[in-house]
Amino acid sequence: MGAKNNILSGVSDTSSDEFYTPIPKGYEPGNTKYVITFGTVMSGLGKGIFSSSLAKVLKDKGFRVSPIKLEGYLNIDSGTLNPFRHGEVFVLDDGMECDMDLGTYERLLDINLTKDNFSTNGQLFSKILENERDGKFLGRDVQFIPHVTGEIKLMLRELAMKSKADVVFVEIGGTVGDIENSHYIEAMRELAYEEGEGNVCFAALTYIIEPDFLGEQKSKAAQLGIRNLQSRGIQPHIIACRAKNNISQGIKEKISINANIPTNRVFDMHDVDSIYLIPSKIIEEKIDFRVLKILGLEDKADSKKGLVEKKKWDELTRKALEKPKKEVVIGITGKYTKIRDAYASILKALEHSGLALGVRVKTKWIETTKIESGELSVNEAFRGVDGVIIPGGFGKRGIEGKILCAKHARENKIPFLGICLGFQMAVIDYARCVCGLKGANSTEFEDSPSHKVIDYLPEQLKIEGFGGNMRLGGRDVDVKKNSYASKVYDDKTCIRERFRHRYEVNPEYIKKIEDKGLIFSGKAPNQPIMQILELVDHPYFVGVQYHPEFLSRPLRPAPLFYELVRASRK
């Protein structure tokens, strides 16, 4: 500790030398360890899956862990990103709209994260510029080093103190060599220097190519990617190699000698049938043990607890690998059907439910723009479908097709789950076809419909700026006693779910709709904001204004998805 304190003893918020870096009050180096994951060669290798799997294994051994994802884009959050660009927008309980990797961390670690677990360049630079305007840099010229890197290190140390984590897992977004993440990489180098030896573990994810025309694995691209990382002052302690097939011992040796690490720290992370196998593979190859040894934590691991948790997880992976006799097909309507990441949490929630029920859940993608144009009939779209989901979304394109899908599911007794926008589609269909409100629509799609059954949230009218005018994050929902929804939620009369919407059922139409048989079984406390709907004379017809998929966990499926799959199985 003495050497580490010597480094940080010259560090302060007001220092004029290059040791400037803000340190949280009461922070002691060595109390929290850091595992930092970088990507090389290409993006999309699964840094989040590897990092969260390793974090899970350490958590299972009794360590308190806290992850953070550092993104290189300039957006303040992920809320305005098109799913085609970056996959789904995952919403945290405190309302932070973030990268879908945060969903991976929440699911695998079974914890709820906050805005402290996610940052973008937009957030980072905004804070630095605000500090500069407030005169907090005492007349200094504000630079990437030391001010930007100092703010990054402050962010990590503040997270360490707030979460009281034993280990903070840091995922650097993008790929080494990207301009937008270079300051993050430099900050990690500085962090390791300041924290001292044994407090920071660097993990690099790389890719071993296997061109069909060669018929063998090649490691040169991986070597160059790691060299690039080393040229920035980062010496990886462990390297995880993504590949199509098992990597050979020869490849491991090449990576080892070029990266200056032992072969037993080169981890084979080839393609597997289920991501749930990754934690088990980490344990099998003793990567967790080596990381703990690097961080000086091996003697603090609770091996007994680790074995108990591993047994639970092994049962899940066994279910994931077996071939169930029963199969259900769930239709998912939408307009982003060409990119599955746009519905990542929904697919995971279905998977969790299938594992719990012992059935294989397959999905059929229903492109609603084709139904809307007449290119595809609803009957044809629903052929072979046992249940249907209308997921959340924004914009007018494909809306009439979704309304027709809600109508078809209602009239033909097909198990149905409407999520957010899907909830609104069910209301519009019911208003038009059952209540006789011709021309009923949402003001999101039509400025002045004859019946504004879905309208803008009054509480949002005062908010300016496209990126911040939604009802976001975790909210309580009052559930009507003895309703179907209350049974799904184990007879609870108050639940907490996550929201992301601008529009609601117009209170003026609630009684008219309920008088015709649609039940609003969940609402906002002390407000006439409807949040759950259901039909009695139907195998399963439920719509919710929130996103239940965000709270689904591998060992605890979201109740509404579980019941949808169960009803579809029947």
- DSSP code per residue over 207-233: E-B--TTTTS-B-HHHHHHHHHHHHTT
Phi/psi of residue 23, nearest 5 degrees? -120, 130
- DSSP code per residue over 342-383: GGHHHHHHHHHHHHHHTEEEEEEEEEHHHHHHTSS-HHHHTT
C-alpha to C-alpha distance for 117 and 94, rounded to whole angstroms:
11
Active site residue 549: yes
C-alpha to C-alpha distance for 379 and 337, rounded to whole angstroms:
19
Residue with tokens 């006789």, as numbered in its chain: 436
Sequence-separated (6 or more) residues with CB below 8 Å from residue 323 = 360
Q: Which of 237, 408, 501, 547 is catalytic?
A: 547
C-alpha to C-alpha distance for 245 and 469, rounded to whole angstroms:
46
SS3 content of the chain, % helix, strand, coil (to 5): 45, 20, 35
Q: Which of 88, 97, 190, 549 is catalytic?
A: 549
Sequence-separated (6 or more) residues with CB below 8 Å from residue 380 = none
Active site residue 132: no
Helices (H) and strands (E) in the chain, counts: 20, 21
Q: Which of 420, 451, 501, 563 is catalytic?
A: 420
Active site residue 464: no
Identify whether the C-beta of residue 21 lies closer than 8 Å to the C-beta of residue 240: no
C-alpha to C-alpha distance for 159 and 310, rounded to whole angstroms:
28
Radius of gyration, alpha carbons of the chain: 26
C-alpha to C-alpha distance for 257 and 54, rounded to whole angstroms:
24
Per DSSP bridges, beta strands 167-172 and 118-120 are unpaired
Overall size of the chain counted in residues: 570
Residues marked active site are found at 420, 547, 549
